[in-house]
Each structure stands twice: as structure tokens, then as C-alpha cells.
A and B are shown apart, each in its own frame.
Chain A
Amino acid sequence: MKKEITFNLNNEETTVEVDPKWTLLYLLREVLNLTGTKEGCGYGECGACTVIIDGKAVNSCIFPVLEAEGKNIITIEGLAKDGQMHPLQKAFIEKGAVQCGFCTPGMIMSAKALLDEKKNPTDEDIKEAIEGNLCRCTGYVMIIDAIKSVAAGR
């Protein structure tokens, strides 16, 4: 039995019919074609599917789709404004924080949620913010550098 939900997605009011069995990730990827959000495990362990819901970084693969009703949701596709990349996106590029890139969208979303909440995060804050985002390529060094550089630059 499908149900209609309305929420704000990347700054646009969005109304869609959903199957209550779906996860938010399924809706984003399979129905709305927002494939920037990745599925690495499907049960909230790897963080590749991280999106921001009402300011918090959330694993969309275990987020029931009906819960999205009335929420404010940002995905990686909603970060750039007027053709300008978000400072985190620029920093990830410039600091070499991207290798295979599969964890990158989720990693950037977790970093954004942190920076939106904390003006001057410590190294420990950054590590904590991305401890739910696994990366197999980088050793996290350049990722942490990139996040720090954005925090320092504001």
C-alpha cells in the first residue's frame, strides 16, 4: 500500500508516493535517481549512505522512508549552490582526500553536519564525527586535513 509523503529535499519541497517498506536510501537512489548517496552495507555500519536530516548526519539505509515526512533532508547533490561547490567539496579535492570515492559523499555529509554544529572542532571532534564513515583507501589523513582546513578557513 503506497503512501504519499512530503519533505524538503535539497531545498525543494518534494512530494512522493512511497512504499512504507522502503528505506530513505531506496527512495533516493531508486526512485529519485539521486545516486550520489551510496550503499556500502545496507545496515548502518559503513556510512556511505550518510545524508543530513534536520541537521544531523544519518545513515539513510536504515532510515524508514515514512519518517522523512516533514523533514529537511540534504544529500550530496544538494551541497553545491549556484554552481559553486561547498567549501568541504573544494577542500576534499584540494587536499587529496578522494581516492576511490565511494565513501566520499557520506564522509562529506558527516563533516558538514559537524561543521554546521561546531564552529571550531578539535581533531578529536572530527575523528568522532567520521567514526561511522569507513574509508578503505586513504587512512583518513587527508580527509581530516580537508575538514580541518574548512573549519580553520571560516
Chain B
Amino acid sequence: MDDNLKIVGKRVVRSDSYAKVTGSALYTADLKLPGMLVAKVLRSPYPHAKIISIDVSGALKVPGVKAAVSGFDAYGVKWGVFRYTQDHAMLPTDKVRYIGEDVAAVAAVDEETALEGLSRIKVEYEPLDAVFDPVESMKDGAPQIHNEYKNNINIHVHIDVGEVDKAMAKAYLVREDTFKAAGEAYAMMEPYAVVASYANGYLDLWMPNAGPHVRAKALSNLLKIPLNRVRVRHINSGGAFGGRSEVAPGDLVASLLTIKSGRPVKLVLSREENATSSRQVHDIVATVKTGMKKDGTIVAKDYKVIYDGGAYSSTGPIATSIPFYVYEECYRFPNVRYNGYRVFTNKGIRGMYGCHGRAFLAGNEAQMDMMAKELGLDPVDVRLKNGLTAGEMTATKSKITSCGLKDTIIEASEKTNFKKRWKKKEKNRGIGMGCVAIMCGFPMGFRSGSSCYVKINDDGQVTLVTGLVDNGQGNESMVIQVASEVLGVPMEDINLVNADTEVTNLDPGAYSQAAAYVGANAVKAACENVRKRLISIASEKLGVPESDIDLKDRIAYSIKQPDKRMPISWIAREAFFRGEPIVATGSFFPDIDFEREWVTRPWGQMAGTFSFGTSVAEVEVDYETGKIIVPRFTAAHDCGRPINPMAVEGQMEGSIQQAGIATITEGNMWYRGFLLNPDLLEYKVPLACDMPEIDTIIVSSHDPKGPFGAKEGGLTVRMNAYSAIACAFTNATGILFEELPLTPDKVLNLLEKNKGVK
């Protein structure tokens, strides 16, 4: 069937777009329930302080305030993704650890009353010394943020493969550099919002989330309510990018308030609160030491990377590891040592970003170019020489099953005339290349797989039930397209019921890049089971063998005698008559080594497959003002077979904005625990006029286990676009960057420090 696809691989209109262009698509803040209250949160004004007391009784005296809560009304449970990272109470009772932390909350009949209620809450604090820099935080004598973690080291990931020191000693060329990068703001257009409604022991919740099942599980733990009484429901999400993966403090706040008041509660964060108190991206400092042979072969890598983890563990071990893994899944490292430290500071809670670790990736790639230049080689050849190929193992023992890395390097470099332009560059202009691999899923225990349930209704229309979630990237439309292909019915005949924890089965969610490879594979499996039943009945009714039957345009027909045909709706009715309606489930569970653990056993198969990509940026550097202009950006991506090329290109273009242009504009700025740019005027999200000319290339490839050969689509660009810009800057100026973002002030400093460098 693969060779003769009817709709998979076609540029189809997304199923969710009609509602979104007419304004009828509902997002959390649009919801209105009868008797619904408005919630507001009282936040910590201190970066670090002991809580002496919290008294919410004053709020309750305000007419119209229906509930007021603090951590003392919660159940004493702390959240953490892992058993060893459970340190986040969401509403603390011992001390506050960042400015903007949730301390107490009220629910009232309207916003004004809620704010009046907040003003009556009394909190007594005893301010403590705070620490804001992760390097300072690791030193002896620094203020201790959590008692359990010595030197504020939350997580230490240590990987040691081969004999790094020996290989380094024998290398022809060794170079060590240190790079820094400010964390970014997710700046999703929809500020965080949650609606919670509790009645008769059942809790319903709506919020933008990238994994409804993991969210429900976290709330079930925090609220001590069984899973089948905590229902996270489907709602549109105005962007996630990694920032909607974990349970949010607001989820607990809204839940406690609805339980207390017995009325539905809506909490909508302001733009500033979304920046200070939802999640932020890790700032990092990366030291990269590389040993190369004379021919450009990498013989050893030695890393020390410090992640500013903010106040709590969050996805700690994963966040501390991912930047390294997406790099080792791309290049061959016979000897490698990685020491990743995630360190607590008195800053906001952190999460994964579609591309966190930019200093790490961009630093590696820009350093590689400097070394190539020294050896008289060019970046294309060095990348081709060191790039992994299908069948190889990564340093930490993940097998690469399909790999189009080489094709992406060649196509992107040929399209941009890279080799020639890198060597003979024009004045103040440069070109640079970044490569990366992305794991399509990662170990999440039994939550790593997905299941789907399909039924054919008596009019032949299809209902698809899956836990898969869409944060705007097009996952919903993707699985409808897959089902349409398998079942031979148009996309508009398929109704999707998804991302609702009470009616769907487990799904890993959208944050481990698993939606296409895992979620769509489960949908395909379920639809194939339905297809078998449809064909079996059609074969019997039409009197032709099953192998002679195909499904197309709502019809089952004989391939050899096309006049022998019957509508799928008739088959469905026949099945109902037989008391065996056409329903089926299907599941997909990726080949992952579940012995693998992020800290204690960092080796084994990471994911079922990996996507690959190469980005090429062209830059102009203004030596007078320090401003970098990006006239053109080219990205090539191996996403297996793209299910909807238009959707993949959209992801790639968005990534060029969010990671590529971000290299020169975006970064959170801090002063003693205050986020200085929590809004969209000071935090520079690129505008239409900031965007370069863009060329996206999807290289043709086919993953043996992906649904119709598909893999993750789009994220490689989000990870390697930084590298491309940083490398182009190096090519233009001869200077290695030290710190991202490359804003004019930092560029001028670099130019001044390196005067005379060619």
C-alpha cells in the first residue's frame, strides 16, 4: 500500500484550520461554565524567604470571595517527574524560592473582587540570602535552596565512553572553549490558563498541555484523587514549545479552589505571569573540548555543562541530558565524556524547550568550524566525515535505524553554494551550517507507547479515539490523514476524539517528539485492524478474495472487477446485524531500552528512530553598530516520509524564526531574581519584517518502522538553527561567539576584543 498512497504525503488542508480562521476554535480562556469564578494568585515578592505564616481568612471576609487557599490547604505532596526529583509543592509552606512563586490564591465572583481578596491575605516572610548564578550557587557557602541537595547540585549526569584523556593526548588538534547562553522565553501567544470544575468527587480540567495523561497523573498524585476522577479534557492550545509539558502550579491552585468553593474556577495568567511563573528555559554555560585528527575526524569530546535549573527539579535529568544526546545522535564520538550539572538558583521554574541547549550545540558546531579552518578543511567535509549513518551506534549505544543526515548536508550545501562561499567570503558576510539529530520519543516507561480505538458508525463515518495531543503543530490533522489513507474515506468523514484522559488510552504526549512516530503509528495500527474487518465482510459479500479488495472513496471494491463494489456504510450495517460492530484498537510501543535511566544508566536504545537535519544561515555583520542581519536561511530535514509536507514546512519555517532569528534577538534578562523582560516589548519575538528569505528542503527518506515511513517533522531546525547562525557569524568575523544571544552589544564587545582577527 505504501507505494501507492492516496493522501499521505500530500499537501492537505489541516483539519483544525476552519475553526481557527473563523474564531470558533475554543481555547481555555474562552470557556464559560455556569457559576464560574475568577481566580487570582498571590505571588512571592522575594527570591528566597522563609514562610512564617500565611493567613487567608481576611480574603474570605470580602463579599464575593468564595474560596481562598494556600499550601496549607493542599495535601503535602510534592511534584517531580522522577521519584528522586519530587521537590516542588507548587504552593510552598516552608519557603519561597523565586520571585513570582505561587503562595496563595482566591476565587471570587469577578476579577475585581478576587484582587480585593488577594490584598487581604497576610503572609509573613523571613527573607533569606539568595543566589542567582549557577556557578556561584555550586560554591561552598552559597545559600542552600533545598536542604537535600549539596552545593545546590540538583542533577549530575556523568557519561564516560572510551578513553577520553588518552585519545585527547594523541589528537593532532585539541581545542577548548566556553560558551554561555541566556535562557529564552517560550513566549507562546496564549498565556497560561486553566479551568477546573469539581462536582460529586470528579474533577474536570481544561488547560493548554502537551501531555494530558502525564498531567492527569501529576494532579492525581498532588490531590490524592484516583486517576479516573481527574479528567484532563481536550482544548485548543496556543503554542507549547516544551513549556506546557509538566503540571503547572496553576493547575493545583485552580483545583484546590474549585474543590473548596464547589464552583468552576478559571485562572488566566497575565503575560508577565506567564513569563515569570509558568516555565522558563535553562540558561547554560558549556565548556567544550574537542580532539581531532589531521583529517578532521573527531577522536574525543570532553564536556562540562552547567544548567541554571531555577528553583525546582522540573524535568531535571532529562533537561540536563538532551542537548548532549541530540548531538551524539548526529556525530560519531569514539571517546566522549559528558558532565552535565543542573544547579538550583532563586529563579523561576524551568522546562524543556524545543531547542534548549543552544550554547552547547552552537558552541560545538562553531568550534568545529574553527578547527576545520585551522586544518585547511571545510565544514561540509568535516560534517560528512563525522556524521553517523544508518546501522551505526551512538556513543551511548542507540542504534540509528534510518538516517538522511548525509543527504541533508549535501542538499543544503549545494543549494547555498556553501563550500565556495565559506572559503571565499565577501567582506563582513558569512555562511554557517548546523547539524543535529532528534530522538522520536524517549524513555517514559509504560507511558512511551500509544493506543487508539476506532469505530465505524452506521452511516460509514469514522470515530477515532486517541490520547494524542496537538499544540498547534498539526498532530490532530496528521492522524486523521493517516486514518483516511488506511480506511479509504475522506478526512472530513473522520471525527477525532483526543487528548481527553477519561476516554482515551495512555499516550506519551507531544513533548518527546513522539506524536508522528508513536501516536500516528498507533492510529495506523488500529485503522489497519478495522480495515481487515471491513475487507473480510466485503470479500464475503462480493464473492471475491480478500486480497482483491481495496477501500477508496467510502467504497470497498474488487481491484480486478471494479463493478463489484459496496459502500463502507453497508459493511458497517452488516456488522451491526451480526452483533459484531466494526471497532478495533491498535497500539504502538517503540523499541526503547527501558533499563536506560537518565542518571544511573545513561546508555541503551534512546528512541525507536531519529530524525536528522542541516541548517544553513547567511549573515551580514555591521561592524559599526554590531547588528547582525540574516538575509537568507536554508533548512534541510530528514523527517522520513512527510505525512503532510505543508505542515512540516510550516514547522521548519517557525523553527527558523524561533531558533534561528532568536540567536540574535532572544534571551531572558535578570537582575537579582527579577526577570527584566517578562513582556513582549522588551522580549524580542521576531516580527514578519525580521524574517529572512527562507528555503525549506525535505529530503526524501523512509523510516522502516515509522507510519508510512514518517518520523518527527520540524524539530531538527529548532535545534540546529542557532548553530547555523553562530557558525555564519564565525565565518563572517573569524571570531568564535562567547555568549548568546548575539545582540549588538555582545557583537561590538567581541569585535573590540578581537580587533585584527581575520
Contact = CB atoms under 8 A, between A and B. Distances in A.
Contacts of B649: 96, 142
Interface string B231-268: 00000111101000000000000000000000000000
Nearest to A143: B688
B657 A98 contact: no
Contact of B689 (A104, A128, A135, A136): A128
A141 B691 contact: yes
Q: Which of B16, B22, B24, B689 has the most CB of A within 10 A?
A: B22
A140 B22 CA distance: 19
A79 B18 CA distance: 13
Interface in B1-39: 11, 13-14, 16-27, 29-30, 32
A131 B691 CA distance: 11
Contact of A41 (B22, B271, B654): B271
Given A40-B190, A136-B658, A137-B472, A93 B691 contact: no
B362 interface: no
B324 to A, nearest CB: 27
Nearest to A21: B112
Contact of B20 (A42, A98, A139, A142): A98
B680 A100 contact: no
B679 A140 contact: no
A119 B702 CA distance: 45
A35 B688 CA distance: 25
A58 interface: no
B687 interface: yes
Interface in A60-92: 75-77, 79-80, 85, 89, 92
B654 A136 contact: yes
Nearest to A78: B23
B346 interface: no
A140 B13 contact: no
Given A38-B190, A108-B21, A102 B239 contact: yes
A9 interface: no
B472 A101 contact: yes
A48 to B, nearest CB: 6
Nearest first, the 3 A-B pairs at minimum CB distance are A36-B23, A100-B472, A101-B20
Contacts of B657: 136, 138-140
B23 A46 contact: no
A99 B650 contact: yes
B22 A141 contact: no
A129 B239 CA distance: 23
Interface of B: 11, 13-14, 16-27, 29-30, 32, 187-191, 236-239, 241, 270-271, 471-474, 646-647, 649-651, 653-658, 679-681, 685, 687-689, 691, 694
21 contacts: A33-B32, A41-B191, A41-B271, A45-B681, A96-B646, A99-B654, A100-B190, A101-B238, A102-B472, A104-B20, A108-B21, A127-B687, A127-B688, A128-B689, A136-B654, A136-B657, A136-B658, A136-B685, A139-B650, A139-B691, A142-B649
A115 interface: no
B17 A101 contact: yes
Contacts of B681: 45
A145 B673 CA distance: 42
A94 to B, nearest CB: 6
Contact of A77 (B11, B23, B270, B650): B23
- Considering residues A40, A75, A105, A128, which has the most beta carbons from chain B within 10 angstroms of its beta carbon? A40
Contacts of A89: 21-22
A37 B689 contact: no
A27 interface: no
A43 B471 CA distance: 25
A48 B691 contact: no
B694 A139 contact: yes
A94 B472 contact: no
A29 B371 CA distance: 58
Contacts of A138: 650, 653-654, 657
A24 interface: no
Contacts of A57: none
Given A104-B20, A139-B653, 6 more contacts: A36-B24, A85-B22, A98-B17, A98-B21, A136-B239, A139-B694
B188 A139 contact: no
Given A127-B688, A134-B687, A136-B685, A101 B658 contact: no
Contacts of B646: 96, 142
A28 to B, nearest CB: 10
Given A76-B22, A101-B472, A139-B657, A40 B687 contact: no
Contacts of A45: 271, 679-681
A102 B189 CA distance: 6
Nearest to A134: B685
A75 B651 CA distance: 28
